[in-house]
Structure 1
Amino acid sequence: MAEARGSTADVHESAIPAQRVPSWARSKVTAGRFGDALPHLALAVCFLGAFSLLALLRYERFGSPSWDLGIFTEAVKGYAHFGAPVLSIKGPGFNALGDHWSPILAVLVPAWWIAPSAATLLVAQAALFAWSVGVVSDTAARVLGSAHRGVLVGTAYGLSWGLQRAVDAEFHEIAFAVPLLALVGRQLLLRRWDRAAWWALPLVLVKEDLGLTVAVVGVLLVLVGRRRSTGAVLVLFGVGFTALTMGALIPHFNPQHQYDYWSKLPGGQHPQLWQLLVVPFTRLTVWKTTGWLLGIVGFLALRSPLLLLALPTLAWRFSSANSMFWGPDWHYNATLMPILFLALVDAVDRLRRSERFPGLRGFAEGMVPASAGIAAACLVSLPVGLGGLGDPAAWTPGPHAAVLRAAIAAVPPNVRVEASMGPLAQLAARDDAYWLGGSKQVAPDYLCVDTAGWDGGPTDLPAYGAALHPGAHYVVVFQRDQVTVLRRT
């Protein structure tokens, strides 16, 4: 969605009292010349290359940590073929819109037409993350009045463990939310209230819970921007769309006609209010994750109202009964990173102009270069993302990857195939792919089984295929280095 343009925004910005105009508004950095944007564009291009390299190296060595890349590959392939985004990996005929409300995935269709591969999704996510790096860097430069400060904050954000873990976790729909949230935060910091509202609207197409984040943008417009009518509309729209998707749209496409994630709340589908409010604070992992999030910005984000944008995401994660959502792993923290680093920028600007906290000015100014050092230290010590490239094994696919590629070549295109984790995403790009053992109604044409690292795995693979699908008979057409391809006779 394009930014709103016109004289209205300019009138409102010029009406801000002089004492409230931040220092960036008078800086040469805000002149709008193309040369001013070059450092931030260059930084974004560097991160595009780094994120793409990291993701594609993992892809080439079949290092998928879950079936998610295969799932999103099937969804985009469905849209590209002008059909429903069916996720055969989750079950025959399972519609992606019955799991999460993410129709924004259809935006990737033109890229899929050019390069129909799961790797296309990985590069797309790298581009979206890199775009957000450029936005954060340029915004920091404008607010803090210095290009090199902007680049330091942008670098710290790009290296942040939240983004790095998301790249490790491969493609997810939140890749679209990351630049959108960066753009919303940018417009709020630059007091472009109407543009902030417009950039917030597409968030409801990324994931169902982000409607609540849209509502919080409306709250900020009311409290900070004094835009009561626009803010009220955004609050009603965000809350209403969330209720619509969870209560009607997702259940309509769901096989059981329900929203599956209500059961993830403490107490099941009908939790008590006290459980939602109290239980999260009793979990040590929640406190650790909170420390990790605020610590990378020196806890200065607490000084900015932008931090309110993180509350809806933290609320559903920390109140969930699924412990996977509580910690710093996977991709769940990626959407919080642009909020935290733009809140840091806002806090530094506020504190250096404040007369109330003179002792914090030096600390705030020092956090700009320190944030990059903290991010780099986390990157290497965890290690996550680019920090993992220090391992020589990350740069070579290895002989087992070559065997998996040969096995995939033994499976014809456009057939029904069940596969184990490694080759699943690559098969999903061209076949009707299922998780191994996930197609109970109809026996697949092929099985692609990788038993490497499978303790107690089957040794008689034809018998294993017959056990999975009674009445079907399979013969081995490829077998090498614990990778077997079987064809149904």
Structure 2
Amino acid sequence: MFFALYTALSVRLHQRLLTTGYDLGIFEQAVRSYAQGRAPVSALKGPGFNLLGDHFSPALASLAPAYRIFPSPMTLLVAQAALLAVAVVPLSRWAYQAHGRTAALVTGTGYGASWGIASTVAFDFHEICFAVPLLAFSVTALGNERWRAAAGWALPLLLVKEDLGLTVMVIGAYIAWQGSRRLGTATAFVGLAGSLLEIFVIIPAFNPDHSYSHSGSFAGAGSPGGSLLGLLHLPMDLITPQTKVITLVLLLAPTAFMALRSPLMLLALPTLCWRFLSEYPPHWGTSHHYSAILMPVVFGAFVHSLNRWAPYSSTQDRRTLRTGLAISSAMTVLLIAGSPLSQLADPVTWQTPPRAAAAHRVMDLIPDNATVAAANRLVPHLTDRCTVTLFGFPDIPLTADWIIVDAKYPMGFPMSAQDESHALDQARLGGYYTVAQDNGFLLLHRTTPDHFTAPHRTTPDHRLTSRDSVGVT
């Protein structure tokens, strides 16, 4: 069921031109490169930019076979939906085996409808989707004291993203603490060493600047008093501003805060720490994909915490268990109202704006294998057949033969509407000519009008109208 819901939401957002080049387009370029037997190059990140120099995510290569058969951004969206939905299986099965059908239903629904997963589905595609089922299986194995299985599911996280080695390290520490000391120590060492190797050696080797660009600045690092003052301020940085506290409350609320009773919650610490110490505000909140890997940890800890009232030795234990499950269910229902999944109940979601058809009419004029500088919302509709860059992105020279933008409703990224208008004027001065204009979508080509021939069909020069906007709700 959740696979169908996730697929429906992400596909409809794409069909309504609400996906973006940053990030769906970037990942499609990488997967397309893998499918063609090349390194994962993304022109959106820069000329010849190898994505292994940005994040270490070779797990993306596993999508190459499917992409060769279905070369479309939809392939990535459907794969993400499947990976996120698979995590329901181990969590709900564990709950069923340990506590019965009601616990399984509450756990599976709570995870599947959680805001962290819904936000991920609603925001393009991200490599983190590979980590979610791996963590779900690993956490389930930890809770059942199957130490080898837990380590086996955790180690592939090193191929998903470089920071996840720290999560592997914590999993190893947990195994050493609760079970096999030798296995746990080895797992922890591999996790830490893997992250350090990826961050300080592998990624810089592929990065044009020979550095890890995401080391960036963390809160307190640039304090006037130096590094010591920054370290003293770290505890406050973890809980301020208020957004971070709200995120923590919303993270635990769907489990009636019972997840805190399980030591498995320790697995969430690496992700929470780097996010809350970051100076990038979106890392602190509940939007985007940043909380996806926390969901299987929280609901795994929830199931584990229920063991405190098993085997229901008293009436009070049974009452406590029922109350916890009831509160968890109520919180899940309550939070769905503000979740991206609620969009599926909105009739607007199932209506494709007329402007989407206009956008595709203009994009159809661009020949396959062309070089294109496109607006962010249009990028992922071209990356399966063209070499695409983001129009107006800083420090990336404009060398594309084609430019396509939404002049009527510019997104405002990577530049303001005023700056975009100025950039278009500069492009015209540089030799680009308008060859099509349909409902606000503007197509320019670097050639003279006399030499332009539409590769498929021509369309009339539609002037701007007041039709429904795409990307504005």
Indicate which of 53, 64, 69 corresponds to 1:114.
69
Q: What residue is the counterpart of 2:332 in the other structure? A: 375
Q: Which amino acid aligns with 2:331?
A: I
Provide, for residues 244-273 of structure 1, a one-character-per-residue CA deviation record: whole Å limited to 9, x for no partner: 111111111111111112223124589543
Q: What residue is the counterpart of 1:451 in the other structure? A: 407
Q: What residue is the counterpart of 2:219 in the other structure? A: 266
Q: What residue is the counterpart of 1:289 in the other structure? A: 247
SS of corresponding position for 1:180: helix
1:29-44 map, 5 Å: none
Counterpart contact for 1:156–1:373, Cα < 8 Å: no
Counterpart contact for 2:254–2:329, Cα < 8 Å: no
Counterpart contact for 1:86–1:93, Cα < 8 Å: yes
Residues matched between the structures, number = 437
Query: Relative to structure 1, is the Cα distance of residues 222 and 362 closer, same or farther in structure 2, using a 3 angstrom cutoff?
Result: same
1:79-118 map, 5 Å: 79-118=34-73
Equivalents in 2 of 1:50, 1:444: separation in Å? 38
Deviation at 1:186, TM superposition (A): 1.1
Equivalents in 1 of 2:239, 2:54: separation in Å? 28
Taking every aligned residue pair, what percent have the same amino acid on both sides?
38
Q: Which amino acid aligns with 1:371?
A: S
Runs of 5+ consecutive residues of structure 1 not aligned to the other structure:
1-45
SS of corresponding position for 1:91: coil
Q: What residue is the counterpart of 1:31 in the other structure? A: none
| TM norm structure 2 | 0.87
Deviation at 1:469, TM superposition (A): 8.3
Deviation at 1:334, TM superposition (A): 0.9
SS of corresponding position for 2:373: strand
Q: What residue is the counterpart of 1:389 in the other structure? A: 344
Deviation at 1:94, TM superposition (A): 1.6
Deviation at 1:464, TM superposition (A): 4.2
As a proportion of its length, which structure holds more helix?
Answer: 1
Query: Relative to structure 1, is the Cα distance of residues 66 and 445 closer, same or farther in structure 2, using a 3 angstrom cutoff?
Result: closer
Query: Relative to structure 1, is the Cα distance of residues 262 and 360 closer, same or farther in structure 2, using a 3 angstrom cutoff?
Result: farther
Runs of 5+ consecutive residues of structure 2 not aligned to the other structure:
448-473
Q: Which amino acid aligns with 2:307?
A: D
Q: Which amino acid aligns with 1:237?
A: V
Counterpart contact for 2:21–2:390, Cα < 8 Å: no
1:5-44 map, 5 Å: none
1:27-176 map, 5 Å: 46-64=1-19, 67-144=22-99, 146-176=100-130
Counterpart contact for 1:184–1:196, Cα < 8 Å: yes
Equivalents in 1 of 2:184, 2:419: separation in Å? 63
Provide, for residues 195-251 of structure 1, a one-character-per-residue CA deviation record: whole Å limited to 9, x for no partner: 1111100001111110000011111101112x0000000111111111111111111
Matched, 1:254 2:212: no
Provide, for residues 49-83 of structure 1, a one-character-per-residue CA deviation record: whole Å limited to 9, x for no partner: 11101111111001126620111111111111111
Q: What residue is the counterpart of 1:197 in the other structure? A: 151
Q: Which amino acid aligns with 1:478?
A: A
Query: Relative to structure 1, is the Cα distance of residues 418 and 222 closer, same or farther in structure 2, using a 3 angstrom cutoff?
Result: same
Counterpart contact for 2:136–2:296, Cα < 8 Å: yes
Counterpart contact for 1:95–1:254, Cα < 8 Å: yes
Counterpart contact for 1:173–1:207, Cα < 8 Å: yes
Matched, 1:479 2:437: yes
| TM norm structure 1 | 0.85
Deviation at 1:367, TM superposition (A): 2.4
1:268-347 map, 5 Å: 268=221, 272-347=230-305
Deviation at 1:373, TM superposition (A): 3.0
Indicate which of 146, 168, 173 corresponds to 1:214.
168
Matched, 1:417 2:372: yes
Deviation at 1:385, TM superposition (A): 2.3
CA RMSD, 1 decimal:
2.2
Provide, for residues 364-417 of structure 1, a one-character-per-residue CA deviation record: whole Å limited to 9, x for no partner: 33322442332122111x1x2221122211111110111111122111111110
Equivalents in 2 of 1:189, 1:460: separation in Å? 53
Equivalents in 2 of 1:305, 1:358: separation in Å? 25
